[in-house]
Amino acid sequence: MSMSLSMISHKPKVLIAEDEAILRQELQNALTQLWPELDIIASVDDGIKAAQAIADQRPDIAFLDVRMPGLNGIDVARLAQHPCHIVFLTAHNDYAVDAFDQGAVDYLLKPLDMGRLALAVQRLKQRLSQQPADLSALQAKKPQEALRWIQASVGNQIRFISVSDVLCFRADSKYTKVITAKLEAYIRTTIKDLAAQLDENKFWQISRSNIVNVGAIDTVQRSDGGLALRLQKEDEWLTVSQAYQHQFRQM
C-alpha cells in the first residue's frame, strides 16, 4: 500500500470530493486549466463515495471537502485505505489548520480563489516525489459549545427560539425554515453551516435540505431499500438520503 518515493511517472490521478455541485465543477475546470497533465479519475458528492473511490482507484491526490454527507473529509483522510496527498476544502479556517499542521498538503477556503489554488498546485507538484503524510491520527474539530438559541424572523418580528424546541430545519430558497410545534420562522444560516453548530447526538441531517431533532421523530419507515420518517405533530413524510441512512442503523 505504500507509494514509491520516486517521482510519479504517470499522469497524477486526482479525486475531487465536494457536495456542492457548482464548486465541484469549478474546481475541476480550474485544475484542468492550471495543471493539464492531471487525470481527474473521480468527482463525487459525499464522503462514503470518496472513501470508496480512494480504495478502488488509488488516486495520487485527493481534494476533500471538510464537511460532506456520509463521512466528513477529515474522516475520509484519516481512514483512507490508500495513501494519497490531501488538500482540504473548507468554509472555516479552523477545521483544516490542524490537518495542515499534521501533513496535509494544503487547504483551500471557499469560495475558491484561483491564486490560492495555483499555490496549492505548486505545493502538490513538489510533494508528489514524497511519501504522503500519515493522517490516521487526525480528528475533526468540534464546536466548543453546541448552538442553544436561534434568532429568527417571523413576519416583521424577531423571535428567540430554543434549539431544543425545534422539530426540523429545512432549506427554503435563500433561507432556512425553522419548524417548531408552535411556529415556523426563517434564518439566513445554511443547512450545511447549521449542521456544524448543532449537537450531532440530538440533531441528524437526513438530506441536503433537512436536519431533524432526533427526539421529535415519531415513525421511521423502510421500503424498497429506502428510508423515510415522520416527525411528531407533522403529517409529511421526509425522505432520508442514502448518504445519511447509516445514522438509523442503531434504531
What class has domain 13-127? alpha beta
d(CA 200, CA 146): 9
d(CA 170, CA 178): 7
Q: What's the pLDDT score for residue 223?
A: 76
Q: What are the pLDDT digits (tens) for 196-219?
A: 889 888 999 999 999 999 999 999
User: Is pLDDT above 60 for 182?
Assistant: yes
Is pLDDT larger for residue 102 or for residue 141? Answer: 102
CA proximity to 21, closest of 42, 49, 51, 45: 45
Q: What are the pLDDT digits (tens) for 116-148?
A: 999 999 999 999 999 999 988 887 665 557 788
Sign of the CA dihedral running 38, 42, 47, 52: negative
Q: What are the pLDDT digits (tens) for 30-87?
A: 999 999 999 999 999 999 899 999 999 999 999 999 888 888 898 899 889 899 999 9
Q: Span 79-96, mean pLDDT?
A: 83
Residue 108 pairs in a beta bridge with 89
Q: What's the pLDDT score for residue 9?
A: 56
CA dihedral 117, 133, 41, 13 (to 10 degrees): 80
Q: What percent of the chain has pLDDT over 70?
A: 90
Q: What's the pLDDT score for residue 142?
A: 56
d(CA 90, CA 111): 9
All 3 cell numbers of residue 115? 491564486
What is the pTM (predicted TM-score) of this model? 0.62
Q: What's the pLDDT score for residue 6?
A: 41
How does the average pLDDT of the chain come out, rounded? 87
d(CA 91, CA 120): 16
User: Is pLDDT above 90 for 224?
Assistant: no
Is residue 63 within 8 A of residue 89, CB to CB? The reply is: yes
Q: What's the pLDDT score for residue 164?
A: 94
All 3 cell numbers of residue 33? 486549466
Query: What are the residue ranges spanned by the domains of the chain?
Result: 13-127, 149-248
Q: What's the pLDDT score for residue 44?
A: 96
Q: What is the CATH number of domain 149-248?
A: 2.40.50.1020
